[in-house]
Amino acid sequence: AQSVTQLDSQVPVFEEAPVELRCNYSSSVSVYLFWYVQYPNQGLQLLLKYLSGSTLVESINGFEAEFNKSQTSFHLRKPSVHISDTAEYFCAVSEQGSNYQLIWGAGTKLIIKP
Amino acid sequence: KAGVTQTPRYLIKTRGQQVTLSCSPISGHRSVSWYQQTPGQGLQFLFEYFSETQRNKGNFPGRFSGRQFSNSRSEMNVSTLELGDSALYLCASSKADGIETQYFGPGTRLLVL
C-alpha cells in the first residue's frame, strides 16, 4: 500500500454509544487488512483481520470491520462502547507480493466519556 | 506459551552513546519486526528479520541496525544516539513465511538526554 490514512487522531464518545473509526488506504493491488489495538502502557495486539472471503469480519469483543474495495476502506465499528475500550487503534495494510510488509496508519485514540 | 519479551523495559542514555535492545519472539516464530513509536510520528517500521536475514527495511538512517540469531532472538542497535531517538521501541514476532498475525512485546522505552 502506498499509504494508510486514519482520518481522526482522537474520537471521543459516550459510554454505550456507537463508534466508527475510519481507515482508508491507497493501493493498486490486492491487500490484507488489519486492526490492532494498544491499551494504555501495553504493546499492540491484533483486534481483527481481513485476508479473504467475507468482507465483514468480527472480533471477540464486539468490534467489526468491513472491507470496501471500491472505497478502499476498512472502517472499524462497535455498536456500544465500554470504558474498557479506551485505547489507541491502528489500521494496517499489507499488499500481496510485498513480502508481507505492513503499512501502518497513524492511530486513532478512542476516548470513552462516562 | 510465553509471549514476546523485550529487554530492557526502560533505558536512559545520553547523546552520542549507543544502545542495544533485545527481543525474544514467541517459540516457533521465525519473523521478528522492529518498530519505533513516538507521539509525533506514530508507529514507524524499522526492519524485519526472517530466518536470520533482513527481509524488509524502513526509512531509517544507518545508525539503526539489527540482527537475528539462529534461535530467532533479535537485537536492535542504535549508534550515536540523538535526542530524537527517544521513543518506545516495539518488537513483534510472527510464525512463518506468509501473512501472519504479528504478536507484539511490551516495548522498550528509551529516553535520550
Of the listed ranges A61-65, B38-42, B86-90, B109-113, the one predicted with least confidence: B38-42
Contact list, A103 vs chain B (CB under 8 Å): 45
pLDDT (tens, 9 = 90+) of chain A, 114 residues, equals 578 999 899 999 999 999 999 999 998 888 999 999 999 888 899 999 998 889 999 998 899 999 999 999 999 999 999 999 999 999 999 888 776 778 899 999 999 998
Residue with cell 537485537: B75
Secondary structure letter of residue B88 according to DSSP: E
pLDDT one-digit tens code per residue, B55-107: 888 889 999 999 999 999 999 999 999 999 999 999 999 986 667 788 999 99
3-state helix, strand, coil in chain B (%, to 5): 5, 55, 45
- Cβ contact A101–B92 (<8 Å): no
Alpha-carbon dihedral B88, A112, A13, A92, rounded to 10 degrees: 30
- Cβ contact A102–B102 (<8 Å): yes
Phi and psi torsions of A84, nearest 5°: -70, -10
- Cβ contact A94–B99 (<8 Å): yes
Mean pLDDT, chain B, whole residue set: 92
